[in-house]
Every structure is written in structure tokens, then in C-alpha cells.
Structure 1
Amino acid sequence: MPGAQPVTSLTERRKAETQLEISRRAAEMFSARGASAVTAEEIASAAGIGLRTFYRYFRTKEEAVAPLLAGGVTSWITYVTEETRDGARVEEVLERATRRALTPSEDVTEEMLQWTRGLLRTVRDEPGLHAVWLRVQHDSEDGLVQAIAPLLGPGVDPLTVRLVAASANAAMRIAVETWAATDAPTTGPDGPAELAVDCMRRLVEHAASRDTENN
């Protein structure tokens, strides 16, 4: 999740791997059957752990998918930081980072995107999952504020930074949710990356048109 500390020790790595394995199994089962039809016991069994171990990692079965959902968000924010270059406009950085975060690669697998698609298809009808998704989005916005602030410069007030971060975050969320509701491929003009970039460009174009009208 945004702001998480890097995993360094062997014990921490093993814990992180176990947590992610639980998250993957939960995502598979929720996508196939819906969260209400799946028990914590079934998730634990599929992940090869006991129920007590499951509850050491997560308070509820719905929270088990948080690491999977948050992982993509964390990568996106990391890419925003990595794509920042001298003189680069915030729109350019966001577009490059968005394409990296939503295009299948060694870091972003086809499987991960499909898991996300399956989960988002169930979120609206599952209050517990919806709450997890909203929390991930809230954390995403906070993390994005920190990543975007240097791009806007020291003279930009905090309210503007937050508005830009919230707008970019909303564009990404709407694009991914829209893509997930379809059977569109993970690449190409109908894929999530291009859809998200299009959403962000629409925001910029709308803001520019409003400025022109006001002037």
C-alpha cells in the first residue's frame, strides 16, 4: 500500500509472500463466486494455511484482497516518481506512469490484470469489498499527493496539489472500473492503459477549455 516500508528481512519477505498468496486465492474465489459465497476457511485452505493464521493477517475475508488491489496502486505511484524528469509536465508523467501500470509486462502480469477485473466486477454488489476498494483509493490519493507535489513546483499551494492528485486518481479509477465491466483485451486501444490515458486527457482538455471560456 502507499507508504509501505520496503520488505528487507527474510521473515518479512516470507510474511509478504504469504499475505500476497492469501490475497490471490481470495481474489480468485471472489471473482468466481462472489464474496458472500466464500468463507475465510475456504480462502485459508486454498492458500495452504490455517484459519488462525489467516486472521493474523486479515480481520475479515474481504480485507484479504486489499494487498492485491493496493499493489497495482503502489506501482502506479512508484512509476510516477520514476518517470519524473526535469521540465516534464505533470500530464506527461502521469501518462507514462499509467501506461506502465496498466500494460502487461514482467512487473504487471496479464494474470494480475484479470484478477483485478474479476474483483472490480463484484465490488459494486459486495459492501465489504466496496469498502476495501474505497480505502485503497483513499490511500492512493494520499500517496499520489506526495508523488505529484514535486512536479507542480514549490510555489503551488497544497489545495491545488490535492485537486490534481484527486482528479488523476479518479480518472484512473473510472477507467479501470469501466474496462473491468467489459470483455475488452488488456492491451490495445480498448485496454485499460489507453482508456486511463484518455480519461486523463479529457480532464486536461476540459480544464483548458474552461480557462479559455473564462478568459
Structure 2
Amino acid sequence: MSTKPPSLTERRKAATQLDIARAAAELFTERGPDDTTAEDIAQRAGVALRTFYRYFRSKQDAVAPLLAGGADRWRAALAAAEPGTDLAVALERSVAGALAAEGEEAAEGLRWTHGLLRAADRDPALRAVWYRVNQESEERLREVLAALAGPGADPLDLRLAAAAATAAIRIALESWSTTDAPARGEGAPSALAVRCLRDLTTGLRLPGRDT
């Protein structure tokens, strides 16, 4: 599945959004969402308040790029699989790899997610952002799975697989965030997500799976 590389303007926009997202996450961790304003976030990020509102509707919405970053990398890894691949195997490998905290970018993303999910327990608006990020990821994942499976795949099975994989990661991360377990090793989100994925996809007729 080929995609057009982002333009310079798009890369700059994404970099600014990520700077704002990190500033918001830092302040939410330090003070909590209730004691953080959009003005505080803009000042920490070094941008004007109007720039903040050009990209985000609310202070909680500002952390969406951080919460979505892992899912973006996960889908990209899955999309790189060969068409016609065993989707059950490809899903499990991509889920495990996305949450394995390999590399500084992935480890940083997990650290932010851990803190933000803890903060979301006390902030309904932040939880709503998390749920929206997951819903958008699921919709994009369906497109990736359809491209890998080919025209003969059952659309319902693909939709169920996308929902199950997204839920597996969401539940794993939410469960992990309630603990002090490290990002790697015992109790880490990678193993939790694989366990959830296996339980949730049992019985699905995925292309390549023996039935």
C-alpha cells in the first residue's frame, strides 16, 4: 500500500502539533488538566494562543497526537506486510511490536500514554479524546486489513478484526496504566495486548488462518 510522502508544510504542521501535545502532556502530569489552561500550554510550547486554537479545539484535544502516535506506527508496520499474508499472525506481530518500547520514540510514547491515561480517570473530556483516537484508529485499520486481505475477504470479519485489535491495545494500555509495571518485562503492555488479541479474535475467519 503506497502513500504519498508528506509535504514540507505538512511536516512542519505535524511538528508544531507534537510540540503542543508534549507541552500539554507535561502540564497535565505536573498540575492535572483542571489546573492547566490552553494559555499555559501555548506558553510552554512557545506558540501563540491563536496558533494553539488553529490546531486544537480544547486543552484536552491537544494531547491527541501523542495518544495516536503508537497507533500510527502500528498501522504503518502492519501495512508493510505482504498482501495475502496470514492476518492473524500479522496482527499479533504488529501489536506486539508496537507496544514493545523498542527505540526512544516508542518508549517516550508509552510513558506519555501511561500518565495521560491515569489523568483521564479524573477527566471525562480527556477520556473522550482517548476514545475518539481509538475509534479513528479502528476505522483506518479496517482499510489496512482490507488491502492486505484482498477482495475475497469477508468485510464483516475484517471489521471485527479491526475492532478486536483496537480494543486489545486499548484495554492493555488502560490496564497497564493502573499499575507501576515497566514498559518492558513482566506486566508490560505488549504481553497484555497479545493476550487480549488472542482472546478477542478466536473464532474469526481471517485470511490465512487455518479453520
Instruction: For residue 105 of structure 1, give the secondary structure of its aligned residue in structure 2.
Output: coil
Q: Does the 8 A contact of 1:89 with 1:151 survive in 2? A: no
Instruction: For residue 108 of structure 1, give the secondary structure of its aligned residue in structure 2.
Output: helix
State which of 188, 194, 198 in structure 1 corresponds to 2:191: 194
Which shifted more, 62-71 or 87-96? Answer: 87-96
Post-superposition Cα deviations, 1:26-67, rounded to whole Å, max 9, x if no partner, equal 012113322111101111111111212211121211110111
Q: What is the match of residue 110 of structure 1?
A: 107
Identity of aligned residues (%): 50
Q: Does the 8 A contact of 1:118 with 1:180 survive in 2? A: yes
Q: What is the match of residue 58 of structure 1?
A: 56
In 2, the alpha carbon distance for the partners of 1:57 and 1:109 equals: 23
Corresponding letter in the other structure for 1:95: E
Q: What is the match of residue 47 of structure 2?
A: 49
RMSD: 2.0
Q: Does the 8 A contact of 2:28 with 2:36 survive in 1? A: yes
Q: What is the match of residue 39 of structure 1?
A: 37
Q: What is the match of residue 178 of structure 1?
A: 175
Q: What is the match of residue 79 of structure 2?
A: 81
Structure 2 residue 160 is the aligned partner of structure 1 residue 159: no
Which shifted more, 65-74 or 107-116? Answer: 107-116
In 1, the alpha carbon distance for the partners of 2:125 and 2:6 equals: 28
Once the two structures are TM-superposed, the CA of residue 201 in structure 1 deviates from its matched residue by: 1.5
Q: Does the 8 A contact of 2:99 with 2:106 survive in 1? A: no
Post-superposition Cα deviations, 1:60-101, rounded to whole Å, max 9, x if no partner, equal 11110111111111111111111x236632121112111221
Instruction: For residue 151 of structure 2, give the secondary structure of its aligned residue in structure 1.
Output: coil
Q: Does the 8 A contact of 1:26 with 1:43 survive in 2? A: yes
Q: What is the match of residue 69 of structure 1?
A: 67
Q: Does the 8 A contact of 2:67 with 2:109 survive in 1? A: no
Q: What is the match of residue 95 of structure 2?
A: 98
In 2, the alpha carbon distance for the partners of 1:108 and 1:176 equals: 17
In 1, the alpha carbon distance for the partners of 2:201 and 2:106 equals: 29
State which of 118, 121, 130 in structure 2 corresponds to 1:121: 118
Q: Does the 8 A contact of 1:189 with 1:195 survive in 2? A: no
TM-score computed with the length of structure 1 as normaliser: 0.86
In 2, the alpha carbon distance for the partners of 1:107 and 1:91 equals: 28
Once the two structures are TM-superposed, the CA of residue 126 in structure 1 deviates from its matched residue by: 0.9
Q: List aligned pairs for 1:11-30, cutoff 5 A.
A: 11-30=9-28
